[in-house]
């Protein structure tokens, strides 16, 4: 996932860089795989669908699941494209051209062999970025093969071990892992290709079209349907709930992991947006969890969950009240609040006063381990590494990204070519640097045009839940994630404009891990069990 700069707010490069650092190859331009004919009015198609088929099996919970795998691409067009105007009829009667931009979207689908499609759930999974492929969910969480990495330290260099994934979701659902346009093996081409696909609403549209066309290609219209998004993919997933309804597709469930649906809660550089104090409030419980993990608290609580409930209450009451007073908060009250924050974060009172009681997460990552000249991870604060510059204010890199990205990318490149028989002559792009140029305008339901503001898809999800009152939502997060703090997800869901009875359709699961909760094996098992149970309870097959 990544955040970015918009409306004169330097929202990006540190957090997005840390998140995209999950692959060191992210800072690469997308190579042209097809000719970019942007001059011809009636340009020929740039891409054709591809596919490679194979068979395999995975053992989950002691039970063998045989599957048929398809690795391939579907061609997706941007908003405004009309299939009736394609080919020889590319120009309509009004003289308007069809958009020439296209996306070739790569996917890997796993279908349980022998299962009746109408009675078999199907789940579409994707990571975020924006600009990230879905290699992380595929090789770390729910695919039939998983790369083994160290839990919270650097994974040694190759050879890496790829093993049977006993926590694959294939026991509960068919799976479709999707790479966003331009990432992984997906490519874009044509006039205005970046403008057509690199933006909040453009991205949601592309995925909605992909899912619609996938259902037709594989005759899955009558299957129970789910989307699973991680990080920026949660914004995509929430937006898809409504966008798919506009394609006459109701989802059974939306599954969110490390969610950020309202970017006004984003903890990246909130000091550049004075008077918006919510990011400090929702981040505080994660700072407390991190201090607890590294044993930096003055009095070390034994029960993490009970401790965090206490911090959450403090954050939304006394702390929020103090921040709301701004400069009118008295010096005595400011000092007292700094003392309380010291008890919850382990940071020195002098530092907290200098920071005006407002903790910047990049600075927290470095300050909490200042005595060791180390920094914590961004995605997972259990990870630590040497500070690049001991005198700097903020952390310069993400130790978790440095610790595991090479293992994921190498394991995937070997697996996709050898087991799935795809990509022999193609370059795989774990991520692409689009967060700085992403179009963050979003047109929520009820707005007459895209808004110039930080994107917020809570209205989309609320509208989707109202239109489909049976839609269920599952929220998952890690206590040690400072990029999308777990309490942020809880907070935003409790501010969604839906009736009280629909709040009951939302459930929450939190884990002693970070942004990618699945890198910690005990929480991978818990995540699998919770998601599989969610699907079985909501698939309408019982």
Please report the pLDDT score of residue 96 as a whole number.
Answer: 64
More confident site: 156 or 9: 156
Q: What pLDDT, in 10s, does the model give residues 321-375?
A: 999 999 999 999 999 999 999 999 999 999 999 999 999 888 898 889 988 888 8
Please report the pLDDT score of residue 152 as a whole number.
Answer: 77
Q: Phi-psi bin for 84: left (phi > 0), alpha (psi -120 to 50), beta? A: alpha
**Length reported for the chain:** 542
**Please, which pLDDT band fits residue 391 given cuts at 50, 70 and 90?**
low
The answer for residues whose C-beta is within 8 angstroms of residue 302's C-beta and 6 or more apart is none
Residue whose entry in the numeric block shows the structure tokens 């083994």:
148
Please report the pLDDT score of residue 310 as a whole number.
Answer: 98
Please report the pLDDT score of residue 467 as a whole number.
Answer: 97
Determine the Cα–Cα distance for residues 42 and 99; give it in Å rounded to an integer.
9
Determine the Cα–Cα distance for residues 535 and 252; give it in Å rounded to an integer.
8
Please report the pLDDT score of residue 30 as a whole number.
Answer: 34
Instruction: Look at residue 11 and tell me whether its pLDDT is greater than 50.
Output: no
Please report the pLDDT score of residue 91 as a whole number.
Answer: 55
Please report the pLDDT score of residue 150 as a whole number.
Answer: 82
Instruction: Look at residue 491 and tell me whether its pLDDT is greater than 90.
Output: yes
Lowest average pLDDT, out of 112-126, 361-375, 418-432, goes to 361-375
> pTM of whole model > 0.75?
yes
Longest dimension (CA), the chain: 76
Q: What pLDDT, in 10s, does the model give residues 43-99?
A: 578 899 999 999 999 999 999 999 999 999 999 999 988 877 765 555 544 446 788
CB-based burial label for 437 (10 Å; 0-12, 13-18, 19+): middle
Q: What pLDDT, in 10s, does the model give residues 175-202?
A: 999 999 999 999 999 999 999 999 999 9
All structural domains of the chain with their residue ranges:
13-41+115-176+199-262+404-538, 265-400
Determine the Cα–Cα distance for residues 378 and 214; give it in Å rounded to an integer.
35
Run of H or E residues at 150: none
The answer for residues whose C-beta is within 8 angstroms of residue 427's C-beta and 6 or more apart is 31
Nearest one of 379, 409, 384 to 513, comparing CA atoms: 379
More confident site: 35 or 114: 114
Kind of pairing, strands 374-376 and 472-478?
unpaired
Determine the Cα–Cα distance for residues 456 and 446; give it in Å rounded to an integer.
13
**DSSP helix/strand/coil, 85:** helix
Percent of the chain whose predicted confidence (pLDDT) is above 90: 72
User: DSSP labels for 395-460?
Assistant: --S-HHHHHHHHHHHHHHHHHHHHTS---TT---BSB---TTT-B--B--TT-SS-BSSS-B-HHH
Q: What pLDDT, in 10s, does the model give residues 130-159?
A: 999 999 999 999 999 999 988 877 888 889
More confident site: 511 or 298: 511
Please report the pLDDT score of residue 90 as a whole number.
Answer: 55
Determine the Cα–Cα distance for residues 352 and 338; give it in Å rounded to an integer.
6
The dotted CATH code for 13-41+115-176+199-262+404-538 is: 3.40.50.1820
What is the overall mean pLDDT for the chain?
88
Beta bridge partners of 142: none
Instruction: Look at residue 290 and tell me whether its pLDDT is greater than 50.
Output: yes
Determine the Cα–Cα distance for residues 203 and 194; give it in Å rounded to an integer.
11
């Amino acid at each position: 996932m990544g955040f970015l700069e918009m409306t004169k707010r330097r929202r990006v490069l540190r957090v997005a860089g840390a998140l995209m650092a999950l692959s060191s190859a992210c800072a690469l331009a997308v190579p042209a795989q097809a000719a970019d004919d942007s001059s011809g009015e009636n340009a020929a198609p740039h891409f054709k669908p591809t596919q490679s088929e194979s068979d395999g099996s995975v053992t989950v919970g002691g039970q063998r699941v045989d599957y048929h795998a398809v690795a391939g691409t579907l061609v997706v067009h941007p908003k405004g494209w009309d299939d009736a105007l394609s080919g020889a009829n590319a120009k309509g009667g009004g003289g308007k051209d069809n958009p020439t931009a296209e996306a070739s979207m790569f996917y890997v689908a796993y279908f349980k062999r022998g299962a009746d499609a109408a009675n078999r759930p199907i789940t579409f999974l994707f990571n975020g970025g924006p600009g990230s492929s879905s290699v992380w969910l595929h090789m770390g969480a729910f695919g039939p093969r998983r790369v083994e990495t160290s839990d919270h330290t650097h994974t040694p260099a190759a050879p890496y071990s790829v093993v049977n994934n006993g926590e694959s979701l294939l026991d509960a659902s068919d799976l479709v892992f999707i790479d966003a346009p331009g990432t992984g093996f997906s490519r874009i081409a044509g006039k205005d290709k970046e403008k057509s696909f690199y933006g909040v609403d453009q991205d949601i549209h592309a995925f909605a079209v992909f899912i619609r066309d996938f259902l037709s290609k594989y005759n899955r219209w009558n299957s129970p349907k789910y989307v699973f998004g991680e990080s920026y993919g949660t914004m995509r997933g929430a937006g898809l709930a409504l966008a798919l309804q506009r394609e006459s597709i109701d989802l059974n469930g939306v599954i969110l992991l490390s969610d950020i649906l309202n970017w006004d809660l984003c903890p990246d550089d909130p000091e550049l947006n004075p008077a918006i104090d919510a990011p400090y409030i929702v981040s505080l419980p994660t700072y407390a969890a991190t201090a607890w993990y590294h044993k930096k608290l003055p009095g070390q609580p034994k029960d993490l969950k009970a401790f965090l409930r206490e911090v959450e209450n403090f954050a939304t009451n006394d702390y929020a009240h103090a921040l709301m007073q701004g400069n009118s908060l008295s010096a005595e009250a400011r000092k007292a609040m700094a003392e309380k924050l010291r008890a919850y974060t382990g940071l020195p009172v002098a530092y907290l006063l200098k920071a005006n009681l407002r903790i910047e997460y990049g600075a927290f990552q470095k300050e909490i381990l200042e005595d060791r000249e180390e920094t914590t991870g961004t995605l997972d604060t259990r990870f630590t590494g040497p500070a690049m510059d001991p005198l700097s204010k903020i952390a310069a890199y993400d130790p978790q990204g440095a610790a595991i990205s090479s293992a994921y990318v190498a394991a995937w490149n070997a697996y996709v070519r050898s087991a799935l028989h795809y990509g022999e002559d193609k370059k795989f792009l774990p991520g692409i640097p689009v967060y700085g140029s992403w179009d963050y305008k979003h047109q929520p339901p009820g707005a007459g045009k895209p808004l110039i503001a930080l994107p917020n898809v809570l209205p989309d999800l609320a509208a989707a839940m109202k239109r489909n009152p049976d839609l269920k939502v599952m929220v998952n997060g890690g206590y040690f994630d400072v990029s999308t703090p777990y309490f942020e997800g809880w907070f935003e869901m409790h501010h969604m404009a839906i009736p009280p009875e629909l709040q009951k359709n939302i459930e929450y699961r939190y884990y002693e891990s970070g942004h990618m909760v699945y890198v910690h094996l005990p929480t991978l098992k818990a995540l699998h069990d919770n998601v599989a149970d969610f699907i079985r309870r909501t698939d309408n097959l019982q």
